[in-house]
């Protein structure tokens, strides 16, 4: 197998790594006064952690388990019921990047993940008013 064909999923040890990453993220969410209220039932955090771990594993080149269990990710649609503004985005990003920095030793992969999570966090913001474009 050439280096080019090794996915981030494989380089980090497979799905188990992404489940651990999601667990680390949700450990931080439990203590975050901004993020925790977004979860109407905090007892659902273990299930949310598993879903996130499977999504991330799939995104980074792993098995399609998330799609098989939940269908297409549709991240914006799934997050739309929650108001996600700059504050929520920033707290989410701090929690996620703290988990990434704790668990990912490879500088190149850590950079790729940081860039992805920064874009994803901004993409999920939904507090901005719609901008009408004049023809």
- The pLDDT of residue 135 is 55
What's this model's pTM, rounded to 2 decimal places? Answer: 0.85
Model confidence band, residue 133 (pLDDT cutoffs 50, 70, 90) = low
**Phi (first) and psi of residue 125, to 5 degrees:** -60, 135
Model confidence band, residue 21 (pLDDT cutoffs 50, 70, 90) = very high
Residue 2 has pLDDT above 70, yes or no: no
d(C-alpha 41, C-alpha 2), whole Å: 45
Asked if residue 104 lies in contact with residue 12, where contact means CB atoms within 8 angstroms, the answer is yes
Task: Write the CB contacts of 30 (distance below 8 Å, at least 6 apart in sequence).
Answer: 36, 42, 45
- The pLDDT of residue 71 is 75
Neighbour tally for 128: CB within 10 Å: 8
Task: Write the CB contacts of 86 (distance below 8 Å, at least 6 apart in sequence).
Answer: 125, 127
d(C-alpha 30, C-alpha 16), whole Å: 21
Given the candidates 1.10.490.10, 1.10.1200.10, 3.20.20.140, 3.40.640.10, the CATH classification of the domain at 15-123 is: 1.10.490.10
Nearest in space to 23 (alpha carbons), one of 95, 89, 80: 95
Q: Where are the domains of the chain?
A: 15-123
Q: pLDDT tens-digit profile of 51-82?
A: 999 999 999 999 999 988 887 766 766 677 77
Q: pLDDT tens-digit profile of 80-124?
A: 777 788 999 999 999 999 999 999 999 999 999 999 999 999 988
Residue 4 has pLDDT above 90, yes or no: no
Angle, alpha carbons 9-11-12 (nearest 5°): 70
Asked if residue 90 lies in contact with residue 122, where contact means CB atoms within 8 angstroms, the answer is no
């Amino acid at each position: 197998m050439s280096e080019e064909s090794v996915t981030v999923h494989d380089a980090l040890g497979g799905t188990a790594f992404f489940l651990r990453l999601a667990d680390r993220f949700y450990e931080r969410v439990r203590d975050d006064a901004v993020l925790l209220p977004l979860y109407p039932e905090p007892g659902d955090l273990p299930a949310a952690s598993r879903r996130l771990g499977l999504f991330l594993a799939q995104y980074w080149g792993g098995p399609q388990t998330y799609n098989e269990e939940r269908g297409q990710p549709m991240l914006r649609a799934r997050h739309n019921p929650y108001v996600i503004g700059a504050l929520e985005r920033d707290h989410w990003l701090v929690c996620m990047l703290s988990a990434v920095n704790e668990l990912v030793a490879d500088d190149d992969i850590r950079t790729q993940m940081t860039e992805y999570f920064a874009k994803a966090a901004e993409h999920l913001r939904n507090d901005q008013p719609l901008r009408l474009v004049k023809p």
